[in-house]
Structure formats: C-alpha cells, structure tokens
Chain A
C-alpha cells in the first residue's frame, strides 16, 4: 500500500477499555488481522466513562469518526455499563445532530476481550462508510 492509499483511509479514534476491549485490539495485532493504520486508540477504564465533550473534541480536531469499543455485558465494573454507555452515545448523537454533524460518525459496539475479528470487521466497515460519506 502506498502513502497515497493510506491517506484515503479515514481517521478514526477508538475509545477502548483497559480490561475488555483493549486486550481484543492487542490480540488483533497478535493475529495479524489488518485494519487501516489511521485507526488510533485511547484506552480508558470503562466505556461508560466517556464524556461527550471528548467525542466532540475529536471531531473538532479532525477525526472523521469515533468508535466506542464498549465493554458490553463483560464490564468488570457492573452490569449497568451497557445502559450507561448507551446513554452517552444517545446524548452525543443528539448534540451531533444539533451541531449538524452526521451522527453516524459516532459508532459503538461491544467488543469482548477476545473479539478481535469483530473489532477489525467493525472498524473496516466504519472506515468504508466514512470514506464514502466524505466524498
């Protein structure tokens, strides 16, 4: 792949979680499952800790998309994580709509600690969507 091709990929910020989804992203590398190198990760303890302002700041700074690799039901901090992460995404989608940002630029999926293939599938298809929608 050339530099030019790499530049066609969308810049995606992934919020991964320390105990659950980040190990899956690590394992994607271990298994040499490839995804665009314009996917960057910031690791946080739990997906329900993401502030909408961080997501909006990412768009302001130039990220094309934000992907929340959520803990889902595997969250070590409790079952309410799924619902709370959902509320964060819902609230942020509303702000994005109000600001005229395509809400589909924020995506969330539960990524368990071994869901490496699922992670790669999600970011690859998200990248395709973002690349298309930006054209």
Chain B
C-alpha cells in the first residue's frame, strides 16, 4: 500500500470546474490515508503543470500519482510520460475521468457532478495504492505496412513510408489506381489535372523498390494485432497478359457485345466488359469485368493478350501496421430529390464535371445546348431531415471552380448559384471572388426552405425565396440543374468491419481524437487517412496521409513494440489444469505445463492480448489480469460507494 500518493485535480479551464467544485473534491481526498499531496490545477496537461508534477514526484518522493481530468483516451499517455520523466514507473499512475463522464455528462446537476467526481477520484486513489511497477511486454514488429486504397492519399502515404524505409504493400480494390482524383480534370489551386497528379504519384510508386502494388485486390481476412497483422488478400485477375497491343485491344473492345453503365463517368456514358477508364490509365493494362462478361469468346479471337486461364490468387501478408485510405463515394441523390431522376437535365456535380470533360467546343447534354446553369448546393450535406448533418467541405469550392472553368471554356454561359451560405474557407475565397467578378449570380436560402426544381413545358424552373434580396421569390429558367453533392462514406465498407474500425456520427472512420490523435483509431496499429475519415480536399487528404504514414512508420520502425503488460496471470497454487481457459482464449495464449508433477496452465505474455475472456471461466478463480486484479476491481467498487 502506497504512502505517498500525489493527486492532481484539473479545472480544464472551466470545462470541469464550471460544474464540479474541484476544491471540494481536493478537500475530500486530501486526508485519505496514503495521500501525501492533493492539488488543483488550471490545466493539468499544460507544460507548467507537467514540470510541477515532475518536481513534486522527485522532491517529495511520491510513489503513486492520480490525475483527475479529461478522458484517459486523450491524456493517459501524456501523464504516463510525465511520471516516467520523474523516474516513476508509469503503471503507478492512474487517470480519473471527471470531464467526459462527470462535468460534461452532468452539467445539469452540479451537486451530483461534484459528488460523483469525489467518488471517482477516491476509486482512482484506491487503485493506485494497490498498483505495481510493471514492464511493458515487448513484441517483434514487422517492418512493413499495408496501405489500403491507391488513391491520392494511399499513394502519397505509400511513397512516404517507402522512403522512410518500410516495406509497403499498396492494396487497391479496383483494377486501376487514382481513386476519385482520376475522375477529375482540372483541380483548383494547381495547373495539374487529376490524371496528371495520378500519373506523377504512380510513377513514384512504381519506381520505388519497397512498394508492391496490388490491383484488383481485396483484404478478406485479418488476424493478429499491432506489430504483426496477418492479412489474407484476394487478387482478382485482369485476364490480360503483357504485351498488349493498342490496336488489337481496341478491336477486342469493339467486338465485345456487353454494354454496361460506366461508373467512372458516373453512369452518363457506357462501357464494354473489357475496359480501361481512359486510354493512358495506370496500370496500362485493361481488365475484364467478369461480373458482366458473358464469356462469348469474341475478344479472344481478335486479341492474343486475353488470357481466361488466369486464376484468382490468395496472398498472405504480414505487416506491422495497416493504413486505411479507402476514400469516399459521392452522394447519390434520391429519385425526386430536386427532381433528380425525374427531369433529364438534372445532374450531380461529379456527372457535370465528366460532361464538361467530354464537351469541347460547346456545352451540350442529351442533345440540348447548355447556356443557363443552376447549381443547387448542399445536396446530401447539412441535411435538415436526412442523416448527413455534416458539411462536405470540398463542394462549395469545387463547384465554384467548375463554374468558372465552364464560363471560360464555353461562350455565353450564365451561372446561378442556389446556396445556403458559401464555405470557400481559407485561400479558396479567391475563386468565390473570381466567380463573382465574372458575373455569376448567388441566391441564398435557409436550411428549412430549399429551392424547388420543376418542369414547365420544356423548361426547367428553379425557384427560391432569396434571403439576400429580402425574401423575394425568384425564378431562374435553367438548361441544366447541377446538384452540388457532397461526400458520403464508401458504400462497401467491408474493410472497416474486418478491422473493427469504429465509425463516427457521420459514419466515416473515426479517429481517437480530432486534434490530439487525429490519424489513429482505437484499434492499435490501424491508422486512417484521406476522405475515409471524413470529407477532405486533395491538400487535406495528402496532409492526413503524411501524418498517418508517419504514425504507422513510428510503430514498425524500431522492429520492437512495447505493449501493455495487462495480460492474464495464473495463480500456480490454485490452478488445476482443466483446460477451460484454453478453450475460452481466442488467441491460443495458454499452454499446459507440468510443474513439480502438477499440470497447470501457463500464459504466453506475448500472445495474450489481455482481453480477459479467460477470467470468468476458471472454476477455481486462478486467473487475474495484471493491473486489473480482483483486488483492484473490488477496491474501486468499494471506493465508488459513498460512505454515508
């Protein structure tokens, strides 16, 4: 039992102390037997307080520390590092959560919140008094990272990891790299087109000896954990072999009788079962879409590169970390949402960008010349009734940039922007300014009173009660209505389920903390990057990719990882091997050993993940988790109950 415990109670500015009487908490715990000092602090995580803690621990020879502050998910590691700097074993530190689970949760009841905070701090003191100095479990970490998704974020992360010295497996589900960016022509803020950007990244990826790219590949199984993930990857063949002659290939495409909507062009065009999305696409080898191929054999007759004998391959990869950069899907409006799917000339922004790509001299769509274009913003984002409450961030800027492009590329274009407040944040404001100078007209409505699209004769009318002209009812006759659709999570998110990555309120992958641990997930060793985490533009995606690559690399770099020592422990006296723990363990961490003629269970601490599934099945209660023993739990339970 410790005699010199230091307790620090954080105000968190006012986040805690506005609702919890921190001084009362301090007074309630200072006289507990074994508590040597109890202090309140404005910000426990601030450098100044960290220095004070280090001094206290050293000068007063503290043997245990409790910090009552925010959730341990934010600052457990911060304070463990503080006590380590002072020479104390980090497992003699206990974190009490009095912000997320007290002051914020009970901001409606200050008395109740203070009472609860007192009991929680008492429980933390009870726990630290019984704590032991522990050493982390060391495991070998494989110096390889699997990057899932070869879009702009995935490729950039792969290059960064390879340059740092890690082996990289870049796994792309489709047959071509580039993700969504390959579908874009000009990108705002750069002279480079999406295709050029993809080409540049692909060239770097391919020339790097440490990167292995798999296309048509999908992770279908995951075992292991941080340091040693065992991934099973299914690689679907392209049914093409090198060398592939362009002329013969075009003949093969021409004879293919299968016609399906072309997803690359958001279904505004069609393609054959043999396809490449655009002629110079990477890898420069087309693929056959076997879901739609009828195996008629016509292509084989004209092109010798086609090889139907290719088989699906299964690969087992061992990696230390997994970086997810699986991207987003554009929001698909529901039938009838702003007349989408009901009026021919209502399209989405991604479709519009493809239309602009295909129209050279003049802008036309489905046989109609386009002059007057109405853009309706926030379709599928900031929904009043739907699930997508978030702002998709990129759409205002991209749409305005596209509107400018259209105005410069074709003659006599009139743009009308039906928005709900323009969010061209940061330097992106320059395009808003440019579009206004070019004469684009901005009309604005509130969330609950969106514009209405209707057909009158052969005309499309867009009506709005415009708040910028004191609620005047205005109408625009448009040749084309563009729905400025936002980003939604990938429809097929099976990789997230496979790796058990939690999703946030917006259904994108969730980081541990937006600011403090922005690319890590609660699954150790799995990092997230790009728009898989939430709407981002190219620059933001690349920034997050570099951050995730650095984080993943830091895990695998040293070749060894220090894991939590919270593993199962067998009481050799009590244990009489019955095998139930072995049956319950999902990781095969138990082995049967004989000690002095007695059979007992033994835990392999490197294999044990510390889940504790074995604990309740032991008929003689011979199992405990180190750092969470019966005594620890029961001391906390007793301390949580007020004495009165």
Assess the B106–A114 pair: CB atoms within 8 A. Answer: no
A3 to B613, CA, bound (A): 40
Chain B interface (Cβ < 8 Å from any Cβ of A):
71, 73, 97, 99-109, 111-113, 115-116, 119-120, 123, 500, 502-505, 510, 522-523, 566, 584, 586, 609-613, 615-617, 621, 625, 628, 630, 633-634, 636-638, 640-641
Closest chain B CB from A124 CB (angstroms) = 12
Assess the B105–A33 pair: CB atoms within 8 A. Answer: yes
A72 to B641, CA, bound (A): 28
Assess the B108–A34 pair: CB atoms within 8 A. Answer: yes
Assess the A36–B616 pair: CB atoms within 8 A. Answer: no
A51 to B621, CA, bound (A): 9
Assess the A114–B613 pair: CB atoms within 8 A. Answer: no
> At the interface, yes or no: A41 with Cβ under 8 Å from chain B?
yes
Chain A CB within 10 A, most for which of B71, B113, B566, B584: B71
Which of B510, B612, B634 makes the CB contact (< 8 A) with A114? B510
A residues near B566, Cβ cutoff 8 Å = 45
**Quick one: given A13-B640, A74-B500, are A30 and B104 in contact (CB under 8 Å)?**
yes
Assess the A37–B522 pair: CB atoms within 8 A. Answer: no
A residues near B625, Cβ cutoff 8 Å = 45, 49
**Quick one: given A33-B105, A53-B621, A61-B638, are A26 and B97 in contact (CB under 8 Å)?**
yes
Closest chain B CB from A52 CB (angstroms) = 6
Which of A2, A19, A28 makes the CB contact (< 8 A) with B111? A2
Assess the A26–B634 pair: CB atoms within 8 A. Answer: no
**Quick one: given A23-B502, A26-B73, are A49 and B111 in contact (CB under 8 Å)?**
no
B residues near A78, Cβ cutoff 8 Å = 586, 611, 613
Assess the B641–A63 pair: CB atoms within 8 A. Answer: yes
Closest to A48 in B: B613
> At the interface, yes or no: A96 with Cβ under 8 Å from chain B?
no
Which of A1, A11, A81 makes the CB contact (< 8 A) with B108? A1
**Quick one: given A6-B112, A25-B100, A37-B115, are A19 and B611 in contact (CB under 8 Å)?**
no
Which of B505, B586, B640 makes the CB contact (< 8 A) with A40? B640
In the A-B complex, the 10 residue pairs with the closest CB atoms: A49-B612, A37-B112, A29-B104, A113-B502, A29-B100, A77-B611, A29-B105, A26-B100, A78-B586, A6-B112
**Quick one: given A45-B566, A114-B502, A114-B503, are A52 and B112 in contact (CB under 8 Å)?**
no
A61 to B101, CA, bound (A): 22
Which of A33, A40, A42, A51 makes the CB contact (< 8 A) with B615? A51
Assess the B612–A80 pair: CB atoms within 8 A. Answer: no
A34 to B500, CA, bound (A): 28
